[in-house]
Amino acid sequence: MKYAQIKELYKNIFKSYEKPSIETHIKKFIELDQYLPYSSTFFCVTNTQDLKFEYISKNLRSCLGLDPGVLKTQGMRYFWSRIHPEDVEVWLNAMNHLMAFTLSEISEADRKKTNYTWNYRFKDGNDTYVNIVQNTTPLSFDLEMKPIIGLAHYTVLDTKIKMQITASAKLLNNNNEYETIYFNNFSQKLLKESISNRERDVIRLLVLNNTSKQISEKLNISPHTVDTHRRNILKKLKITSTGELIGMLKMNKHFI
């Protein structure tokens, strides 16, 4: 897919009629970045209206071996050029579905408490494709409450890890626990059609070694309901024990 096509589709997804000020946000992130250790994660402040990065953290170079100055100057055009060609259309499809879901299913008040995650393959400074898991939290919205500026965290994973392209949206509930309100596997339909969003929340907490009682408290449901979800999950996945479930999910974290 050519850059002009990507740009047109991307801008259409995030089309807006307002450009809010984010100087305060950027200033705070720059201050924070001075104290963050080097790791496999970097972050950027993304501007979907101007197709640029308002800020790029220092870890970009250590994570990907790329020059932050080039990314800052060339913006999203340069970033898109390094996404694996086979992933571009799938990734755009995921973005389109996430935005459509946000505008039709998430209330304006809740959009400020929503967190989005998706992934794709990306060419690093050694011209090797690595996996990137992007987690974005909206910072600013247009007049129609469409998220257009966000804080994006990028986690870089080894290229040997086989990951299908998925996208999810999680909402922070009254117990300060993120609940899955949207999930789609854009590479295949394996778990999308069988595992519900609530069951996915139970799985995610099981993998973090939570008991049924702890899960019930975090999701504000009864322990009996949690146990019912656990039995249904095992039945749907055709496995016999929670231990087997946890082992499978830890090996395939893109399902969570």
- Supply the pTM of this predicted model: 0.67
pLDDT in tens, 27-72: 665 666 665 555 678 989 998 888 899 999 988 999 999 999 999 9
pLDDT in tens, 100-138: 899 999 999 999 899 999 999 999 999 999 999 999 988
Q: How far apart are CA 119 and CA 45, in angstroms?
A: 17
Q: How far apart are CA 23 and CA 168, in angstroms?
A: 28
Side-chain-side CA neighbours of residue 111 (13 Å): 23
Q: How far is CA 97 from CA 91, 100, 101, in A?
A: 10, 5, 6
pLDDT in tens, 209-231: 789 999 999 899 999 999 999 88
- Domains of the chain are 3-186 (3.30.450.20), 189-256 (1.10.10.10)
Strand positions, DSSP E, 14-159: 41-47, 52-56, 114-123, 129-141, 147-157
Whether the CB-CB separation of 202 and 221 falls below 8 Å is answered with no
Structure token pair of residue 45: 């402040």
